Amino acid sequence: MSLGYRGQAFRGFARQPGQPTVQGELEHALSLMLRRSVEVVCAGRTDAGVHARNQVVSVDVTAAEAQALAGRRTVRSLNALTHDDIVVHAVQRRSPGFSARFDAVEREYRYRICTGDAPPLFMRDFSWFVSGSLDVGAMREAAACFIGEHDYKSFCKAVSAIDKPTCRYVSEVSLFEEVEMGERVTVVRVVGNAFLHSMVRTMVGSLVMVGKGQRDPGWIARALEARDRTAAGECAPARGLVFWDVRY
């Protein structure tokens, strides 16, 4: 299934007892349709407040269930059964053994930043407002330090990195401007094979520190080498981040 969602309504993607989550909503809807308990797997877990444009989710079904789930009626049913802030775009059949998580080869995130003297109105729930201006040129220079395979222990939630591998390959970190609903935003596009907990948000928070002139562009490389969460910048707010796409 491909779907999108607004993150404000959920405590993240992953199921949590007693908490509204995207996974919980999807599994409840599918359980009603299939009349049994199900467990879904997503391409990339998102934190509380993070949005998704094209999240991909897989679920194992029998041949008979796959036949029953085919067609537009399933999409309409899922959208009727799930939270209003979740939209299922399509349901497609894949070969047995397909995993939305493990078969993914590339994931893309986009983070939106608004700058200026006045905060945004229409983009308020989908961007980080940074008062004043940013040196985007310096941010681009700093972003180049992320390209390639690095140990991102400095750029993820410290507790999530304990006794776990933290090397990841990032193929692109680019910055460009867009106008959304008449409001100008700076977009940070990050593409890689996989990401750690809060990794993209910490990368963006660190780039903003460079854009403000609080750190020099080379600081990013030094932070990577330190392999210590305290060496990098702040974690940017969740509302500006969108899980944009996944490729197989």
Pair (213, 134) in one structural domain? yes
Give the span between the Cα atoms of 6 and 53, in whole angstroms.
9
Rounded Cα–Cα distance for residues 93 and 96 (Å)? 9
Q: Give me the pLDDT at residue 33, please.
A: 94
| 138 and 230 share one domain | yes
What does the pLDDT average to over 120-148? 98
pLDDT band per the 50, 70, 90 thresholds, residue 47: very high
Q: Is 109 annotated as a binding residue?
A: yes
Q: Are 39 and 134 found together in one domain?
A: no
Last residue of a domain, one of 55, 90, 125: 90
Pair 148, 72 in one domain: no
> What is the 8-class DSSP label of residue 101?
T
Structure tokens, 101: 């998580």
**Do 60 and 169 reside in the same domain of the chain?**
no
Based on the fold, state whether residues 6 and 112 are members of the same structural domain.
no
Instruction: Check whether 159 has a pLDDT greater than 90.
Output: no
CATH number of the domain encompassing residue 234: 3.30.70.660
For 68-106, the pLDDT digits (tens) are 888 789 999 999 999 999 999 999 999 999 999 999 999
Single out the residue in 34, 66, 90 at which a domain terminates.
90
Q: So which residues are the catalytic ones? A: 47
CATH code at position 62: 3.30.70.580
Does residue 97 lie within any of the structural domains?
no
For residue 219, what are the contacts with CB-CB under 8 A and spacing of at least 6? 142, 206, 209, 210
Position 119 confidence tier, pLDDT thresholds 50, 70, 90:
very high
In a domain, 99, yes or no: no
Q: Mark 92-128 as b/e (b = at least 16 C-beta within 10 Å).
A: eeeeeeeebeeebeebbbbbbbbbeeeebeebeebbb
Residue 46 has pLDDT above 80, yes or no: yes
Residue 161 has what pLDDT?
82
Structural domain contains residue 122: yes
For 35-90, the DSSP string reads TS----EESS---TT-EEEEEEEE----HHHHHHH-SHHHHHHHHHHS-TTEEEEE
Name the residue type at position 244: W
The average pLDDT across 194-199 equals 96
Confidence of residue 160 (pLDDT cuts 50, 70, 90): confident
Say if residue 10 is in the same domain as residue 72. Answer: yes
Q: Which helix (H) or strand (E) holds 25?
A: helix 22-34
Q: How many domains does the chain have?
A: 2
**Closest of 126, 87, 114, 113 to residue 8, by C-alpha:** 126
Taking residues 161-184, report their average pLDDT.
95
The whole-model pTM stands at 0.95
Which helix or strand (DSSP H or E) is residue 175 part of? Answer: strand 167-180
Please check whether residues 229 and 166 belong to one and the same domain: yes
Cα 33 to Cα 19: distance, rounded to the nearest angstrom:
22
Range of the domain at 122: 106-247
Is residue 20 domain-shared with residue 132, that is, in the same domain?
Answer: no
